[in-house]
Structure 1
Amino acid sequence: MPTNKAYVRANNTATIVCPACGARKNISTLQLKGKRHTVKVRCRCNVVFDIQIDFRHSYRKPISLPGTYTILRDGQGGGVIHIRNISTGGIGLTVSGIHQLKKGQVLGIEFLLNDKNQTTIRKKTVIVSVNKNQIGCRFSASEETGKALGFFLQS
């Protein structure tokens, strides 16, 4: 059975839905924060299934776009990236080749949206996770989403 997702609301609760019978249950996610986010659940209909608890604050849109990065703080250089997903708060990307990127570095990211205007996006980001060539970044607090990116995320 595939893993289902449950999205955490601002009040730290999530609704779990049984894939077999459709039964719903609201749970508190406070005890799950900072721990493994996939848990096994047994429904009252006796079906056991996996549920992934998603703590993201905003929808992450899967995409596949080329771009470039430049290290702005705590290092130097840059390179080619491939953007895998984007949200109003951050971006997930892969880096081509060997890199020295690490958590906390500030990057300048540039890429073209595949919208009708081929809008150029330039953002300052902070690296929050590094797993081999997969990099997770959040947009700097001073960065606004921008009208073009906002429309792109809604389409």
Structure 2
Amino acid sequence: MSERIFANQDGTTTIICPQCGKLKQADVSKYLELKSTVRLKCRCICGHCYVAELERRRYIRKKSNFSGNFVRTANARKGIMTVCDISRSGLKLRINGTEQFVIGEELSVEFRLDDTLRSIVKKDVIVRKIESSFVGVEFNSMDHYDQLGAYLMFN
């Protein structure tokens, strides 16, 4: 399994050797516009060689497994979903059933977090990506003044 490294806004990253913990700064700006997965071969001064995968997302995704439901804004049809991952900008949903979505379609989603309060989150989203039963959605607003904001910051 490869290490994950994150690109900063200035096109640099900090690579941490998994063997000895030494830090190294690297310029990764030439890889930021590529669509494919970027894996870098790294060699530490301690002699350890490893592969690091460059994460270019603006916001880190957190794996999740939250059950919920959605309502299609256009026709009020309802369905069941699972939130597979979550970030400040959106969600990756697994849709239960045979619903067919289109890019740009608006939905309302509702799911329950795994925090101590089992908080209910209700958000309006826009479909941005479709891959078989998985749908990538973007929040209409990234202002999370509800429990979701606290969840993303502290969990």
TM over 0.5: yes
Match in the other structure for 1:60: 61
Q: CA deviation at 1:43?
A: 1.8
Q: CA deviation at 1:24?
A: 1.7
2:106 paired with 1:111: no
For the aligned residue pairs, the C-alpha RMSD in angstroms reads 2.3
2:76 paired with 1:71: no
Aligned length: 152
Assess if the C-alpha contact under 8 Å between 1:108 and 1:124 holds in 2.
yes
Match in the other structure for 1:7: 6
* SS of the residue 1:50 aligns to: strand
2:119 paired with 1:122: no
TM-score by length of 2: 0.82
Assess if the C-alpha contact under 8 Å between 1:90 and 1:137 holds in 2.
yes
With 120-129 and 39-48 compared, the bigger mean Cα shift is at 39-48
Alignment of 1:4-153 (within 5 A): 4-20=3-19, 22=22, 24-43=24-43, 48-73=49-74, 77-141=77-141, 144-153=143-152
With 131-140 and 53-62 compared, the bigger mean Cα shift is at 53-62
Deviations 1:47-73 (A, max 9, x none): 553221112222322221110011224
Q: Partners in 2 of 1:40 and 1:60 — Cα distance?
A: 21
Q: CA deviation at 1:44?
A: 5.8
Q: Which residue identity lines up with residue 62 of structure 1 in the other structure?
A: K
What 5-or-longer segments of structure 2 have no aligned partner? none
What 5-or-longer segments of structure 1 have no aligned partner? none
TM-score by length of 1: 0.82
Q: Partners in 1 of 2:127 and 2:42 — Cα distance?
A: 37
* SS of the residue 1:16 aligns to: strand
